[in-house]
Amino acid sequence: MPTHDEGVMVGKQWRSVCKGLVLGTVLASCMILFYCLSAPEVQISFPEVPVPYSCARRPSPDRASRAGRGWAGCVPKVDVMFMKTHKTASSTILNILFRFGEKHRVRFAFPSMRNDFSYPSPFHHSQVQGYSPGACFNIICNHMRFNEAEVAKVLPADAAYVTVLREPADLFESSFHYFGRLIPFTWKISGDDKLAEFLRDPELYYDPEGFNSFYLKNLLFFDLGQDNNLPPNDPRVEAAIRAIARRFQLVMLVEHFEESLILLKDALCWDMEDLLFFKLNARKGSTVSKLTPELRAKALDWNAIDWKLYQHFNTSFWRKVEVYGWERMERDVAELRRRNVEMAAICIEGGHAVDAGSIHETAMQPWQPIGEKSILGYNLKKNVDKAHRKLCRKMLTPELQYLTDLGVNLWITKLWGHIRDILHW
Ligand SMILES: *[C@@H]1O[C@H](CO)[C@@H](O)[C@H](O)[C@H]1NC(C)=O
């Protein structure tokens, strides 16, 4: 006869097995659905028509007065490829790009039915909603696995390519937390601290062929379209880093977010106002595990290619700051911070981010990772003055809602959200 405690234990295990099975089945069905809907069979093959070298339109008198000349007398660059990497504050940057795009009435190259370009499949121009040969789009910025030749079919040749990196140990921690449950080989990791257990002996658990495995090894390199399972000393790694450096005009660093935005403004001739931001999609502090120095070292070792990538672009980043001027940078960062604080006081109820449960409007609810509500959001203040009302709302709107506002049909993403609501994930 099992004791009561054993009975409870068995019940618990049984429940978690059931949950695993249901999760597996639903995931598999959804993936099949995704692939059926976004498979290349439905791609109509268009004759190849090159995109014009530049999509810049002659500014209309109206446009010139509204948003024409930037602060330095240069013309703001509206053709931008933003390579949205995972877990790198890129949702905050997307909000900036969406607002900039609306202000200049640009044409975005959006995905259809979902909020990414069939990630993790490599980008293909046919994934763009409303693509037609020779069409000119201005900004592309949703998640994709980078594919240089295909992106070039959508954007003008003089578009600015920009991306953002994060220190790979922190990125790994964040990705493990956010995507862990979607990676079947993590289900067998035992113990309370799965991350530490994984890093103790990654080879024991990691399966390069495993479903979603790329989330846990050199994710940045993978997002940038490269093979994340190469040995770190393979010459192809260096070659890929050089190719990325050639293609991307600016590689920002999350750890120096304001400096990054100032460099962006400088490179693209934007206004300070374009850069205003609230941190979107941030995680509750209590769910962020502080890596010990040992774990950090192991995580960097495990993500050795991303670490090389990061160090390379860290060097070029500070070289750019040097050219910009240290004092000038310090001044501009201080101004941006001051204006962000000012905006927070104007727009945000209570002045700071809150738990999902305390967000009043569904329009302000951020998307949550499976299994918990750890992502924070905001409440828009009630009596915002008329001059700021629109900007406040835009700055606080989470990514999916903003995409919907911009006319993107997200039915697959939404269906997935409903399934999760029903199952309480
Ligand atoms: C980044 O570069 C700066 C300036 O050269 C250096 O002080 C810092 O240690 C570098 N950081 C990393 C992570 O390599």
Ligand 1 centre distance from Cα of residue 314 (Å): 6
Residue 378 located in a structural domain: yes
- Check pocket membership of 314 for ligand 1, CB cut-off 6 A: yes
| H or E segment to which residue 161 belongs | strand 160-165
Ligand 1 centre distance from Cα of residue 312 (Å): 10
- Displacement of CA 411 from its chain's centroid (Å): 20
- The residues, any chain, with a CB within 8 Å of residue 90's CB and separated by 6 or more, are 82, 84, 164
Residue 228 located in a structural domain: yes
Residue nearest to atom 12 of ligand 1 (CA): 311
Whole-angstrom distance, CA of residue 354 vs CA of residue 362: 14
| Tens digits of residue pLDDT in 137-150 | 999 999 999 999 99
DSSP letters along 326-384, please? HHHHHHHHHHHHHHHHHHHHHHBGGGS-B-GGG---GGGPPP--TT---B-B--B-TT-
Going by C-alpha positions, the residue among 138, 382, 410, 399 that lies closest to residue 278 is 399
| Tens digits of residue pLDDT in 184-200 | 999 999 998 999 999 99
- Check pocket membership of 206 for ligand 1, CB cut-off 6 A: no
- Model confidence at 113, pLDDT cuts 50, 70, 90, reads confident
Length of the chain: 425
Q: Which of 314, 316, 319, 329 to mutate to test the pocket of ligand 1 (most atoms within 8 A of CB)?
A: 314
- Check pocket membership of 187 for ligand 1, CB cut-off 6 A: no
Ligand 1 centre distance from Cα of residue 234 (Å): 24
Kindly report the average pLDDT of the chain as a whole number.
Answer: 87
Helix, strand, coil tally for the chain in percent (to 5): 55, 5, 40
Number of domains composing the chain = 1
Query: What would the mean pLDDT of 272-281 be, rounded to a whole number?
Result: 94
Strands 250-253 and 160-165: parallel
Residue 16 located in a structural domain: no
| Tens digits of residue pLDDT in 30-53 | 555 554 444 443 444 555 666 666
- Check pocket membership of 211 for ligand 1, CB cut-off 6 A: no
| Tens digits of residue pLDDT in 199-211 | 999 999 999 999 9
Residue 205 located in a structural domain: yes
The CATH number of residue 212's host domain is 3.40.50
Looking at the CA of residue 167, tell me the nearest atom of ligand 1. 13
Residue position matching structure tokens 């700055």: 395
Residue 240 located in a structural domain: yes
Residue 18 has pLDDT above 60, yes or no: no
Residue 29 located in a structural domain: no
Residue 334 located in a structural domain: yes
Query: What would the mean pLDDT of 240-258 be, rounded to a whole number?
Result: 98
| Token reading at 180 | 């862990």
- Model confidence at 262, pLDDT cuts 50, 70, 90, reads very high
Looking at the CA of residue 315, tell me the nearest atom of ligand 1. 2
Domain, as residue range, for 384: 70-414
Residue 424 located in a structural domain: no
DSSP 8-state symbol, 414:
H
Most confident of 362-366, 394-398, 421-425: 394-398
